[in-house]
Amino acid sequence: MTTTAPADPSAPSPAGRTAVPPALPPLHRHRAYWAWLLSDTGQALGSSLQFFLVPLLVVVVSGSAAAAGTVAALGAGGRIATTLLGGVLADRHDLRRLMTLSGTLAATVVAGMVAVLTLDLGLVALGALNLLAGVRAGLLAGASDAALKQVVPPALLPTASSANQARDAAVAMGGPPLGGLLLGIGALPALAAAGAAYLVAAAGALVLRGDFRAERATDVASVRAEAVEGLRWLWARAELRRVMTVALLLNLGLNAAVTTLLYHLATTGEDPARIGLVSTALGVGMLVGAVAAGPVVQRFPSGPVAMAGMSLAGLSMLVLPFVPGFWGTLAVLTVGILGGPATNAAMMSYLMHQTPRRVLGRVMSAAELVGAGALPLAPVLAGWGLSLLGLRPTLLACAAICLLAVGAVLSSRALRTLPRPADWAASGA
């Protein structure tokens, strides 16, 4: 027998019991999420292809791993340098418009790279365009992540984040082999695929429905003051402060190690499709981990989930320098990344759940800045390490950085006590 709930959900029902809110529709029933996912996937695939292709194109043109690392660092540096400003833009402007502009500008930059290669304008022009690509990503790419909170209800954020981890795994698994296959045909078809993916991102944003306007404050502060507010909000949370510190070290060590492997294979004349298997191994590990991420994030405390995932990734890098053979290396990479999806889903959904929309763009940009601030050093460490030290010493240096991250995560009481999603509000987190 169906009864009508009172108008006030907190008011007692005629039977003296508190009315239970109606169950939310499952994630796949939210149409806006599918449009958002199309746009975000287009951006992720375009970025994956571009990240894979540009350093390899530099190696093909120059034969130098150091040059490839320098060009890649320009792009990463441009993104890091502008990410806080991107957070301010996300909190001041309509997120859907920023997503559309992001995809359009990214496709334009890729078209410029095609022109540079066709006209043989050299590495300086390619490096300048990669820097511009990084600036575009820093200013605009974060709008898509901030928009997710407007697309799905708060209770579905952990589920949506877990689903996005599976999507990221599929892109990581398929993007580099696709890039390697297309690069075997020619540089222009490979870059054209990246440009097409960015246009899909813009198209997905155009069909997105909902209110993505900013919450206007009564007094608008300066850009600098608004950017600092996001950093202060993030740094005031002990558990997030430790996560970002660990992410800074772990991202540097992991990315430097993977980039070292990619550059080593490229400079030794390995087939591009085989080089793509390195990223495919990471994608397989992410995909397997993403399958379990949803139930794990919902059922277990978020802090221990994040600690386990980050520790597994860091410790796997200690094994990597001593693993013989190509396939053994791929196996270590696959196992090491298994806990990544659950870690990312737990921490990203927690961050989005706790952050007000008014400062969400700035806080997420601040998190990216702190967590990925050292990433421009990864290709530099990889390229120059290979040139001056060789493969194993460079991987050992990456492992030492990861060991520092593992020590930081295991010593954090704030992380150990972070509860599961159902208890976030009750814990006062």
The pair of three-digit structure tokens given for residue 23, joined into one six-digit string = 């169950």
Model confidence, pTM: 0.68
C-alpha to C-alpha distance for 263 and 266, rounded to whole angstroms: 5
C-alpha to C-alpha distance for 72 and 266, rounded to whole angstroms: 14
Q: Of the given ranges (77-86, 234-243, 302-311), which has the lowest mean pLDDT?
A: 234-243
pLDDT in tens, 6-39: 334 333 444 444 444 456 677 777 788 899 999 9
Helix, strand, or coil (residue 18) = strand
Residue showing tokens 């009750």: 426
Helix, strand, or coil (residue 12) = strand
What's the pLDDT at 220? Answer: 59
First to last CA, the chain: 39
Contact predicate 361/142, CB 8 Å: yes
What's the pLDDT at 131? Answer: 94
How many helices (H) and strands (E) in the chain? 17, 0
C-alpha to C-alpha distance for 258 and 264, rounded to whole angstroms: 10
What's the pLDDT at 397? Answer: 92
What's the pLDDT at 11? Answer: 39
What DSSP letter does each residue of 121-139 carry, written as one string?
--HHHHHHHHHHHHHHIII
Closest of 70, 41, 49 to residue 279, by C-alpha: 49
C-alpha to C-alpha distance for 247 and 121, rounded to whole angstroms: 37
C-alpha to C-alpha distance for 357 and 262, rounded to whole angstroms: 39
What's the pLDDT at 205? Answer: 93
Q: Of the given ranges (57-66, 98-107, 191-200), which has the lowest mean pLDDT?
A: 57-66
